[in-house]
Amino acid sequence: MTCRFSGKRTGWMLAGTAALLFCLLLPLSAQAQRAESRAGKFSLGLDIGLLGATADGTAFALGLSGDYFVTHNFSLGPLIQFGFTDDLFKVGPTLQAKYTLDLPGTPNVKFNFQGGIGFIHADLDRGPFPDRDDTSFLIPIGVGIEFDVARNISIGSSLLFNFTDLDDVRDENFFVSWLTGIRIRF
């Protein structure tokens, strides 16, 4: 199964939709009841999922993340995305900024918007043809949701729209990451 998107136009439409959702949900966060403050706390995450629209079709994905909450709603930290197929390997470390909204009436559900900047390296093996690899910038922008299952443990899912410029691999300017996993807060 391959997941293909029609270039930059679709990417900008999806990013615009995410920005619109952010603007609509931001006022709700001010009304949300705040439980214990997250400021000054760390969160580590391990995710698995899929990368769509890569040079080799849909890829298995692995994500590692860390967040340090500067305020109750705003955090900074690394995100490392890995993508694997038979012929493709990608690794993309970025520094992410995340804004987390506590949804009113649902203290165990949190919605977040995130964006970051970093780089990506992709290595594509094409059998008897010369291997192709490239390194480029990476700008992941997306949304996520988390459900607290215990005091310091939550499960969550993120949808990231990744903008890049991997010319030597296959003029790849955009791919999508869907990651689901566990988060542990310290």
Q: What is the CATH number of the domain that holds 177?
A: 2.40.160.20
| Strand duo 172-185 + 153-166: pairing | antiparallel
Q: Look up the pTM and report it.
A: 0.79
Does the pLDDT of residue 10 top 60, yes or no? no
- Please check whether residue 37 lies inside any domain of the structure: no
- Please check whether residue 92 lies inside any domain of the structure: yes
At 170, is the secondary structure helix, strand, or coil?
Answer: helix
| Strand duo 153-166 + 132-150: pairing | antiparallel
Mean pLDDT of the chain: 84
Which pLDDT score, from 0 to 100, does residue 105 have?
87
User: Are 99 and 87 contacting, i.e. CB atoms less than 8 angstroms apart?
Assistant: no
- Please check whether residue 59 lies inside any domain of the structure: yes
Does the pLDDT of residue 8 top 90, yes or no? no
- Please check whether residue 80 lies inside any domain of the structure: yes
- Please check whether residue 31 lies inside any domain of the structure: no
Mean pLDDT score, 22-29: 51
- Please check whether residue 164 lies inside any domain of the structure: yes
Which pLDDT score, from 0 to 100, does residue 1 have?
42
Mean pLDDT score, 73-100: 96
Cβ atoms within 10 Å of 142's Cβ, excluding its own: 23
Per the structure block, which two tokens stand in for 173?
């300017």
> Number of folded domains in the chain?
1
Could you tell me the pLDDT band of residue 37, with boundaries at 50, 70 and 90?
Answer: confident
- Please check whether residue 136 lies inside any domain of the structure: yes
User: Are 186 and 77 contacting, i.e. CB atoms less than 8 angstroms apart?
Assistant: no
Distance CA 159, CA 30 (A): 24
User: Are 79 and 63 contacting, i.e. CB atoms less than 8 angstroms apart?
Assistant: yes
- Please check whether residue 158 lies inside any domain of the structure: yes
Domain around 60: 48-98+111-185
Per the structure block, which two tokens stand in for 165?
């410029």
Could you tell me the pLDDT band of residue 173, with boundaries at 50, 70 and 90?
Answer: confident
